């Protein structure tokens, strides 16, 4: 299939942009604590060896969520393919930090190369993947075509594009066909997205509905020593967690907590904002609500009315302390966050009603009794109070969460088997 003009134009433009992109990205990564050597992975210079004793399967997802969403899938494929090696690439320092503590066996992480000839040639010459799996909306033209040209079998999983992006692709049919033709299999998050991919000129016989892989993320990491210390600090106090909250949501959570303290005076709220850099702002909100607090970035453990958990990578620890978790990003039209991570800890999920990013998951969890949606501070306080005061109801919700998690395991196995067949990786 000949390369369309739009692709050839992008190749030319990318060659001009590489020096500027390198300078900008290196500075950004260095400010985030990444070494110069690792920052140069962006221009294709590998910092890990390519193991030769089995096929290499490359997974790419740009963001934190995209990268973390495939860890459970890599783990499952690794069990079925005991000789396979795995490479996962992402674009940000945050994703690299979180992945470093959660990588499955035989898996290494690298920063993704720029979508330009030089970086990609170096990257592919070193890694030479036997198969490549791209996640969600990572459709970099040269990355896809050059990987395909090197003989790798390719798949797109968890495919998700906005309506605006779909409309733009549909206006460029020759370019869309040229890019999407590289995939042996395209698994979408739902039926609507499957139809959109076909409308974008993806080969219809290679498109199928999958599931939202973020709803099957692997267990969050947990420091057992820190868990022991936190439990000792709390003693027998009741605890609830509000995690991944965004600007404008903490006020609602704190109002609910003040209401709850009237009936449960020793209740502790663990408040973990989505963006820890907002720690000072959230601390001011807690103080403004006349609530006492301890703060994780000061080295504290839970010990006041509110514990501000303003660090990265410790959610697994806080979830282990309670079986009641409110999940933020849902009281405002943000789209919600991953309830499966909460369910894996054995907790019931409370959430606002704005959960479009995980609509199918929340619907299934609600039906199973593992999740409940709340409208405002009064509703949130009532739901938390009901779970705190009714042991049988709380135990039933925990059982529902455990049952839901177990049911997703079979689905993940099915997806792993399907990818292994499509990518011709059968042992």
Q: Which residues are annotated as catalytic?
A: 66
Q: Which residues pair with 240 in a beta bridge?
A: 269
Longest dimension (CA), the chain: 71
**Please, what sign has the CA dihedral across residues 110, 115, 119, 123?**
positive
Token output for 351: 């959430």
Rounded to an integer, what distance in angstroms lies between the CA atom of residue 343 and that of residue 346?
A: 5
**Which phi and psi (to 5°) does residue 7 adopt?**
-70, -45
Rounded to an integer, what distance in angstroms lies between the CA atom of residue 425 and that of residue 411?
A: 19
Strand 131-135: give its sheet, edge to edge. Answer: 107-111, 85-90, 56-60, 131-135, 153-159, 183-188, 207-209
Sorted by sequence, the CB contacts under 8 Å of residue 214 that are 6+ apart come out as 65, 68, 69, 158, 338, 340, 358
Rounded to an integer, what distance in angstroms lies between the CA atom of residue 183 and that of residue 133?
A: 9
On the CB side of 46, how many CA atoms lie within 13 Å of its CA?
Answer: 18
Q: Tokens 């495939």 correspond to what residue?
A: 70
Chain length of the chain:
427
Cα separation values, 380 from 31, 347, 373, Å: 39, 16, 9
Rounded to an integer, what distance in angstroms lies between the CA atom of residue 242 and that of residue 351?
A: 10
């Amino acid at each position: 299939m000949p390369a369309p003009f739009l692709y050839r134009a992008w190749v030319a433009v990318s060659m001009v942009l590489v020096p500027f992109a390198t300078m900008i990205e290196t500075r950004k990564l260095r400010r985030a604590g990444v070494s110069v050597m690792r920052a140069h992975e962006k221009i294709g210079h590998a910092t890990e060896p390519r193991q030769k004793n089995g096929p290499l399967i490359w997974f790419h997802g740009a963001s934190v969520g995209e990268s973390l969403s495939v860890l459970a899938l890599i783990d499952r494929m690794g069990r079925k393919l005991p000789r396979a090696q795995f490479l996962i690439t992402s674009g940000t320092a945050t994703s690299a930090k979180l992945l470093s503590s959660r990588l499955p066996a035989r898996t290494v992480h690298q920063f993704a190369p720029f979508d330009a000839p030089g970086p990609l040639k170096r990257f592919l010459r070193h890694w030479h993947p036997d198969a490549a799996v791209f996640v969600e909306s990572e459709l970099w033209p040269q990355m896809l075509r050059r990987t395909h040209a090197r003989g790798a079998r390719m798949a797109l999983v968890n495919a998700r594009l906005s309506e605006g992006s779909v409309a733009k692709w549909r206006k460029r049919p020759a370019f869309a066909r040229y890019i999407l033709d590289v995939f042996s299999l395209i698994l979408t998050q739902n039926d609507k997205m499957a139809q959109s991919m076909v409308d974008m000129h993806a080969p219809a016989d290679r498109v199928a509905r999958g599931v939202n892989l973020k709803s099957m993320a692997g267990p969050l990491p947990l420091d057992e020593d820190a868990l022991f210390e936190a439990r000792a600090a709390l003693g027998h106090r009741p605890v609830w967690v509000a995690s991944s909250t965004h600007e404008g949501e903490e006020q609602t959570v704190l109002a609910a907590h003040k209401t709850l303290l009237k009936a449960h005076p020793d209740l502790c709220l663990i408040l973990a904002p989505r963006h820890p850099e907002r720690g000072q702002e959230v601390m001011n909100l807690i103080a403004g609500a006349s609530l006492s607090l301890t703060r994780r970035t000061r080295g504290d453990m839970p010990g006041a009315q509110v514990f501000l958990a303003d660090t990265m990578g410790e959610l697994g620890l806080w979830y282990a302390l309670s079986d009641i978790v409110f999940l933020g990003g849902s009281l405002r039209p943000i789209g919600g966050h991953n309830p499966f991570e909460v369910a894996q800890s054995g907790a019931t999920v409370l959430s606002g009603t704005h959960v479009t990013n995980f609509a199918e998951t929340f619907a299934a969890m609600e039906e199973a009794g593992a999740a409940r949606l709340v409208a405002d501070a009064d509703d949130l306080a009532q739901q938390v109070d009901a779970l705190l005061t009714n042991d049988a109801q709380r135990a039933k919700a925990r059982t529902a969460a455990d049952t839901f998690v177990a049911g997703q395991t079979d689905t993940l196995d099915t997806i792993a088997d399907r990818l292994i067949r499509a990518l011709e990786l059968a042992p």
